[in-house]
């Protein structure tokens, strides 16, 4: 396997392919945010993807060339860049997509163009639910998948009542809905719920006051990026952690930005499909190689890119050489990777993977993740997905 890599995403964003592809050449369009609020996520996904091609490339004779485009976290821009990748650059497969809004904007186009898309982040449940497509495979997570098992686990720990919070947009609503489903099905009670204005809430004090007054045993939240940093710090400064423990979807204390949260993150317990302290051989190798190449610990976003590349390599090793054969091969891929046993549910094209409960603790070199439990992998419900009908 030979991998043709760019000098950088910026150059690729403005440079077209100038040579004809051989039969075994696979042109990959990386559709990621390289600017805007999610730029760091896009950079980690790309770093993981490139490392995955390097690590697993010997398993296939295919040659990979990457053409990268910046979505700017804007759905119209994402659609325009997807059209460029397909119509001008003639890519065989697209990988990436961080924002669920961008995924929603491009999904109909890639489906109608019959170009396989490997989703390497966006968790919108509907992408592998009512809006599923035989050309869309998710190698990251779905919003409900991360949170449903955490609801059951918390109830098993003797937590009876919970107050929930999340930003008021699709991901926040779906994350909390998944948790509520799991918690209530196990006999728990939701005693209060708040959805805060997305990317507009700077003072969480009024909401935290409601949580404290609710009498809940614990608070469960979803926040990510800058909002996660602000929320975790304010939760600590409000003096709630000792009497009202904080739980959440693991993006709350992601390795990508947990150091910015500092000591306020200590003791927070969360659920996620990947943390760098998962104890298995594949993850130890991934962490060591990623750190050697980048100088930083891999986040869940890096793992998404790494596993997306692994899946693509395995699809081509099985004989996939063009759009149709890649789309057909990707759902059949399974492997044991950094996250553990990883496969694709043929009913939805969504990933099936373990979920890990972890606590953020102080380590010798800064904050780290102490894995408390590995929850069994479960396939998402179909949620209206009918791939047989979608392929007709």
Packing angle, helices 39-56 and 281-294, rounded to 10: 120
Instruction: Point out the least confidently predicted range of 18-22, 69-73, 197-201, 257-261.
Output: 18-22
Report the range of poorest mean pLDDT among 20-24, 237-241, 264-268, 311-315.
Answer: 20-24
User: For strand 269-272 and strand 355-363, is the pairing parallel, antiparallel, or unpaired?
Assistant: antiparallel
Q: Long-range pairs for 360-365 at CB < 8 Å and ≥24 separation? A: 360/253, 360/258, 360/265, 360/266, 360/267, 360/268, 360/270, 361/266, 361/267, 362/263, 362/266
Nearest Cα neighbor of 266 from 253, 279, 284 is: 253
From CA 392, how far away is CA 210, in angstroms rounded? 50
pLDDT for 242 equals 86
Q: What is the chain's length?
A: 392
Distances 78 to 68, 260, 387 between C-alpha atoms, Å: 12, 29, 24
What is the residue-wise DSSP string for 79-116?
Answer: HHHHHIIIIIS--SEEEE---HHHHHHHHHHHHHHT--
Number of Cβ within 10 Å of residue 187's Cβ equals 9
Which DSSP helix (H) or strand (E) runs through 225?
helix 225-237
pLDDT of residue 365: 87
Instruction: Determine the pLDDT at residue 101.
Output: 87
Instruction: Say yes or no to pLDDT of 12 above 50.
Output: no
Tell me the pLDDT tens digit for each residue of 328-387.
Answer: 999 999 999 999 999 999 999 999 999 999 999 999 989 999 999 999 998 999 989 999
Is 364 exposed, middle or buried (CB count within 10 Å of its CB: 0-12, 13-18, 19+)?
A: exposed
Q: Cβ neighbours of residue 11 under 8 Å, at least 6 residues apart?
A: none
Q: What are phi and psi of 33, to 5 degrees?
A: -80, 120
- The CATH superfamily assigned to 144-272+355-375 is Response regulator (3.40.50.2300)
DSSP calls for 13-42: HT----SPPPTTEEEEEEEE-SSSTTHHHH
Percentage of residues in the chain with pLDDT exceeding 90? 86
- CA-only gyration radius of the chain, Å: 20
| Mean pLDDT for the stretch of residues 135-140 | 98
d(CA 334, CA 311): 8
Domain at 2-141+279-353, CATH from 3.40.50.2300, 3.40.50.620, 3.40.50.670, 3.10.20.30: 3.40.50.2300
Residues 120-125 have a mean pLDDT of: 94
Give the model's pLDDT for residue 38.
Answer: 86
The boundaries of every CATH 3.40.50.2300 domain in the chain are: 2-141+279-353, 144-272+355-375
The structure's pTM equals 0.90
Q: pLDDT at position 302, please?
A: 97
Residue 16 pLDDT > 90:
no
Longest dimension (CA), the chain: 66
Burial degree of 346 (CB within 10 A; 0-12, 13-18, 19+): exposed
d(C-alpha 48, C-alpha 333), whole Å: 18
Contact 33, 71 (CB under 8 A): yes
- Alpha-helical runs (H) found in 263-355: 281-294, 300-317, 323-329
Average pLDDT score over residue span 180-195: 98
Distance CA 27, CA 166 (A): 38
pLDDT score of 391:
67
Task: Return the closest-CA partner of residue 147 out of 355, 339, 302, 373.
Answer: 355
129, two tokens: 């639910």
Average pLDDT score, the chain: 92
């Amino acid at each position: 396997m030979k991998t043709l890599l760019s000098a950088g995403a910026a150059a690729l964003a403005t440079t077209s392919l100038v040579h004809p592809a051989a039969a075994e050449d696979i042109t990959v369009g990386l559709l990621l945010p390289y600017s805007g609020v999610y730029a760091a996520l896009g950079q980690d996904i790309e770093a993981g993807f490139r490392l995955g091609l390097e690590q697993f490339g010997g398993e296939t004779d295919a040659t990979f060339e990457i053409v990268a485009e910046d979505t700017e976290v804007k759905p119209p821009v994402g659609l325009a860049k997807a059209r460029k990748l397909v119509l001008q650059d003639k890519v065989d497969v697209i990988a990436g997509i961080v924002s669920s809004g961008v995924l929603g904007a491009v999904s109909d186009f890639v489906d109608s163009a019959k170009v396989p898309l490997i989703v390497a982040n966006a968790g919108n449940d509907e992408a592998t639910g009512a809006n599923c497509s035989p050309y869309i495979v998710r190698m990251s997570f779905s919003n409900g998948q991360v949170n449903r098992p955490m609801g059951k686990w918390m109830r098993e720990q003797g937590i009876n009542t919970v107050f929930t919070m999340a930003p008021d947009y699709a991901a926040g609503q779906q994350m909390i809905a998944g948790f509520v489903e799991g918690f209530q099905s196990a006999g728990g009670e939701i005693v209060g719920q708040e959805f805060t204005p997305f990317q507009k809430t700077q003072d969480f004090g009024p909401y935290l006051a409601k949580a404290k007054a609710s009498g809940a045993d614990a608070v469960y939240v979803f926040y990510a990026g800058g909002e996660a940093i602000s929320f975790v710090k304010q939760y600590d400064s409000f003096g709630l952690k000792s009497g009202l423990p904080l739980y959440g979807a693991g993006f709350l204390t992601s390795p990508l930005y947990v150091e910015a949260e500092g000591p306020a993150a200590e003791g927070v317990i969360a659920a996620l499909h990947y943390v760098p302290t998962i104890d298995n051989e594949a993850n130890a190798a991934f962490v060591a190689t990623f750190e050697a190449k980048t100088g930083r610990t891999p986040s869940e976003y890096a793992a998404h890119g790494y596993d997306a590349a692994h899946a693509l390599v395995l699809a081509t090793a099985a004989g996939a050489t063009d759009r149709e054969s890649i789309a057909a091969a990707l759902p059949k891929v399974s492997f044991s990777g950094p996250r553990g046993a990883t496969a694709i549910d043929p009913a939805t094209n969504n990933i099936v993977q373990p979920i890990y409960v972890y606590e953020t603790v102080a380590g010798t070199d800064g904050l780290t993740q102490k894995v408390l439990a590995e929850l069994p992998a479960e396939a998402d419900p179909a949620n209206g997905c009918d791939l047989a009908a979608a392929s007709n």
